[in-house]
Amino acid sequence: MKWEAFVKEEWAESFAVLFAALGFIIAIFLRSPYYSYLSVFLGGFISARLFYIKKPKEPILPFVLIIVGFLFGYLLGAIWVNRFVVLISFAIGFGISAYLHKKKILGIFKSELFLK
């Protein structure tokens, strides 16, 4: 397979594996439960921002795959914390960020609402 075809057709899977590895590494190195929950909360917050930015412009399934890849990798590496609380923290971060973006409280860079 040529490199151009690989990049064009399978970039989402490659990034999902990359982010799964990144989530696994982050979860392994954070031994404190508080830092683990905070980092996965921020991961959910950033994931919702990515989801909100890309949803109206591009197909959303590749980005959902990348987000799920990160969460899956984080859950595999989270051996010092409760995995259910990790899922709840991610969901709360995702929900708060999605709500703030939907209500236009948080703006997107290079938009009219970015600087108020």
pLDDT of 113: 54
Helices (H), the chain: 3-9, 11-29, 33-54, 61-77, 83-102
- Residues 38, 36: Cα–Cα separation, whole Å: 5
Question: What integer pLDDT is reported at residue 31 of this predicted model?
Answer: 87
Question: 9 pLDDT exceeds 80?
Answer: no
In this prediction, residue 3 has a pLDDT band, given cuts at 50, 70 and 90, of low
pLDDT of residue 109: 62
CB distance 56 to 4 below 8 Å: no
Average pLDDT on 21-32 reads 93
pLDDT at 4 over 80: no
Burial 23-36 (b: 16+ CB within 10 A, else e): bbebbeebeeeeeb
pTM: 0.84
Q: Pull the structure tokens for residue 89.
A: 């923290």
Give tens-digit pLDDT for 39-63.
Answer: 999 999 999 998 888 888 888 888 9
Q: In the predicted model, what is the mean pLDDT of residues 57-83?
A: 91
